[in-house]
């Protein structure tokens, strides 16, 4: 039975997959290549993930491309990654736009080089009307930073007399996160065998199914996406209640 049919039959509806794309460096080390080559190869896996989600009818895909902590890496690696983002947006934007993909970003975009910030804005503007797949790219993103920033915005509302502390509930708080308008991820998938969250979507992953795969990100393809979807459908989500 195909994945899409299976989706229709199950109570586990799958709307949003968020991926921690990890293992580029190890992929390159294994081949005695520079880490930078691993990042370059990782771009192909990004295409696979986007195509796979479109074909499987999964409407939201979020990709962790660069964390708030990745700025700690050597300068040449950071510069190379920025160069890859530049190349990717320049080269892929037309195809993404024609494929009905709406490109969205979360993270501290202001820390990126100015021309990359411009490309981010262009990608958002050009694809704003698309509806087939919402692709959110987490760039210079950290979950703790996002939550802190939401708390700061809310604190200002209180200081300005526009809000009473009792009015803050989970929905209100979530609406001040950068993911406002996106459903919480059903799956958080991490490649490379590491089993940690590394500051990704801390609030939003409260009830996500965590799936860890051994594959190194540059080798990720449609078959690994299908394995994750199958694994998701084999899980029983209870949200603290009991199964019926
Ligand atoms: C993920 O691959 C890409 C980024 C974090 C930007 P890594 O670069 O972390 O690869 P490993 O974990 O060193 O293998
Ligand atoms: C998480 O991977 C960030 C991204 C995939 C963009 P890292 O490789 O930075 O995470 P740690 O350092 O192993 O926790
Ligand atoms: Mg890593």
Per-residue pLDDT reduced to its tens digit, 149-166: 999 999 999 999 999 999
Per-residue pLDDT reduced to its tens digit, 174-200: 999 999 999 999 999 999 999 999 999
- Hey, whose CA ends up nearest to atom 3 of ligand 1? 22
**The predicted structure's pLDDT at residue 170:** 98
| Structural contact between residues 124 and 97, judged by C-beta atoms closer than 8 angstroms | no
- Nearest atom of ligand 2 to the alpha carbon of 138: 6
| Structural contact between residues 77 and 85, judged by C-beta atoms closer than 8 angstroms | no
Residue-range domain boundaries for the chain: 6-234
Per-residue pLDDT reduced to its tens digit, 10-25: 457 999 999 999 999 9
Percentage of the chain lying above the pLDDT 70 cut: 95
What confidence tier does 9 reach under pLDDT thresholds 50, 70, 90? very low
Whole-angstrom distance, CA of residue 44 vs CA of residue 91: 13
**The predicted structure's pLDDT at residue 183:** 98
- Hey, whose CA ends up nearest to atom 13 of ligand 1? 25
Which ranges of the chain does DSSP label H, i.e. alpha helix?
3-9, 24-30, 35-56, 75-98, 114-127, 143-159, 170-174, 222-234
Task: Report whether residue 71 contacts ligand 2, using a CB cutoff of 6 Å.
Answer: no
Task: Report whether residue 196 contacts ligand 2, using a CB cutoff of 6 Å.
Answer: yes
Task: Check whether 1 has a pLDDT greater than 70.
Answer: no
| CATH of range 6-234; options 3.40.1160.10, 1.20.1250.20, 3.40.50.300, 3.40.1180.10 | 3.40.1180.10
Q: How far is the CA of 158 from the centre of ligand 1 (A)?
A: 40
Top mutation candidate among 68, 70, 218 for ligand 2, by most atoms within 8 Å of CB: 70
Mean pLDDT (whole number) for 41-55: 97
- Nearest atom of ligand 2 to the alpha carbon of 20: 5
Phi, psi dihedrals of residue 148, rounded to the nearest 5°: -60, -40
State the CB neighbour count (10 A cutoff) for residue 133: 21
| Structural contact between residues 52 and 10, judged by C-beta atoms closer than 8 angstroms | no
What confidence tier does 243 reach under pLDDT thresholds 50, 70, 90? confident
Top mutation candidate among 21, 36, 38 for ligand 1, by most atoms within 8 Å of CB: 38
Per-residue pLDDT reduced to its tens digit, 66-114: 999 999 999 999 999 999 999 999 999 999 999 999 999 999 999 999 9
Task: Check whether 5 has a pLDDT greater than 90.
Answer: no
Query: What is the pTM (predicted TM-score) of this model?
Result: 0.95
**The predicted structure's pLDDT at residue 12:** 79
Ligand nearest to the CA of 82: 1
- Hey, whose CA ends up nearest to atom 14 of ligand 2? 198
Percentage of the chain lying above the pLDDT 90 cut: 94
Task: Check whether 6 has a pLDDT greater than 90.
Answer: no
Ligand nearest to the CA of 81: 1
Question: Tokens 């499987």 label which residue?
Answer: 56
């Amino acid at each position: 039975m195909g994945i899409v049919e299976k989706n229709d039959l199950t109570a586990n509806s799958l709307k949003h997959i968020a991926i921690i794309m990890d293992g580029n460096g190890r992929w390159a080390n294994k081949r005695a290549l520079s880490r930078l080559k691993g990042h370059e190869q990782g771009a192909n896996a990004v295409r696979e993930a986007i195509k796979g989600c479109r074909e499987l009818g999964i409407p939201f895909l979020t990709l962790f491309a660069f964390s708030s902590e990745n700025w700690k890496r050597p300068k040449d690696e950071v510069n190379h990654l920025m160069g890859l983002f530049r190349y990717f947006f320049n080269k892929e934007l037309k195809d993404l736009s024609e494929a009905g993909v709406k490109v969205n970003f979360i993270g501290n975009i202001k820390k990126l080089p100015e021309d990359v910030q411009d490309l981010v804005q262009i990608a958002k503007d050009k694809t704003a009307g698309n509806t087939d797949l919402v692709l959110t790219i987490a760039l210079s993103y950290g979950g703790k930073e996002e939550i802190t920033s939401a708390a700061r915005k809310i604190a200002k509302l209180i200081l300005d007399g526009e809000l009473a502390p009792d009015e803050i509930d989970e929905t209100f708080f979530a609406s001040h996160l950068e993911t406002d308008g996106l459903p919480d991820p059903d799956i958080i998938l991490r490649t490379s065998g590491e089993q940690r969250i590394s500051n990704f979507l801390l609030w939003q992953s409260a009830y996500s199914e965590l799936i860890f795969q051994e594959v190194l990100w540059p080798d990720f393809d449609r078959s690994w996406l299908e394995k994750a979807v199958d694994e998701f459908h084999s899980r029983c989500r209870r949200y603290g209640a009991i199964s019926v």
